[in-house]
Amino acid sequence: MTEITTLLQIFIWGLTAGCIYVLMAVGLNMIFGVMKVVNFAHGEIMMLGAFSSFGLYYYTGLNPYFLMLFSMVIIGVFGVMIERFGFRKVLGTGKLNEIFLSLGLIYILQNAAVKLWTDDIRKINSPYSSMALDLGVLNITYDRIIAIAFTALILISLYLFLTKTDVGRALRATSQNHEAAMLMGVNVNHMYMLSFGIGAALAASAGTVHAILSPFNPYMGTIPGIMAFTVIIIGGLGSIPGAIIAGLMLGLVQNFTIFYFGGAWKEAVAFVLLIIVLVIKPTGIFGEEH
């Protein structure tokens, strides 16, 4: 009989892993909702976020959680550039071209990162790394608590931004109906850039959280990228609540799988979950017909 504390510990690990997926998947879904584009290079943007936070941390030595905000801005601007000079050019020329463009970006970003920073394993040392919340039966490191709290904070501010501000409303209008939004005076091209920027910034925060919790190198983004895609399919393409629930669910399922069956099955179980969902409901749990 497994002890309840072990199970709780795995639950916490699953939750933090899920938070990284949620941050990635919500960003992907923002981009998909507005532009109807899935960015396959999202994992690579996450990796760049980790490196940008690492670089800032390396040169300033400040608190990485504070630096993460700057990193989000840097990578957000980078995301806007990718949209403006990449995806914008192929929008409407067929979905396959958008897929192939993001494949090219994976090659470019990943290998440029290896070229610039080598593939050595690095880690961002959080000032709280040795501290943990002692609950008597189990210890939760502060870094994991911060990761969970931070994700919640981001989601709440994103929600407020989308519902309470004019720009947020314009974004939602664009995602519901391009033509109508355009007729109402929304600059759709700006919305595209904005959604890509927000998506990239969220990926950068996911990358930083990942880099604080575990070591990383330029190849770190590939698997979380794929898992984020799996999450948005399971949750329903374009549905943000779906991404949150599916993201946390996948994090938990994977960590319990690692515990019971071993690490190699962590990706396989995600795929099994994906197949089950697609067979039962091809549009995902919260998805609508597109």
For another protein, the binding residues (CB under 8 A) are 38, 40, 86, 89-90, 93, 95-97, 99-101, 103-108, 110-112, 114-115, 222-223, 226, 229-230, 233, 237, 262, 264-268, 270-271, 274-275, 278-279, 282, 290
Nearer Cβ to another protein, position 150 or 267? 267
Rounded CA-CA distance 246/253 in Å is 10
257 contacts: CB under 8 Å, gap ≥ 6: 265, 266, 269
Q: How far is the CB of 112 from another protein (least distance, A)?
A: 6
Nearer Cβ to another protein, position 115 or 214? 115
Nearer Cβ to another protein, position 164 or 290? 290
Q: How far is the CB of 133 from another protein (least distance, A)?
A: 33
180 contacts: CB under 8 Å, gap ≥ 6: 173
Rounded CA-CA distance 200/205 in Å is 9
Rounded CA-CA distance 269/257 in Å is 7
122 contacts: CB under 8 Å, gap ≥ 6: 54, 211, 215, 216, 217
Nearer Cβ to another protein, position 161 or 265? 265
Q: Tokens 């409303």 sit at which residue?
A: 169
Nearer Cβ to another protein, position 14 or 221? 221
Nearer Cβ to another protein, position 1 or 96? 96
Nearer Cβ to another protein, position 70 or 265? 265
Q: How far is the CB of 209 from another protein (least distance, A)?
A: 22
Judge contact between 1 and 11, C-beta under 8 A: no
**Which H or E run includes 9?**
helix 4-35
Amino acid at 116: L
Q: How far is the CB of 180 from another protein (least distance, A)?
A: 23
Alpha-helical runs (H) found in 165-264? 166-176, 178-183, 188-213, 222-235, 240-261
Q: What angle do CA 111, 114, 117 make, to 5 degrees?
A: 145
Q: How far is the CB of 82 from another protein (least distance, A)?
A: 10
Judge contact between 197 and 45, C-beta under 8 A: no
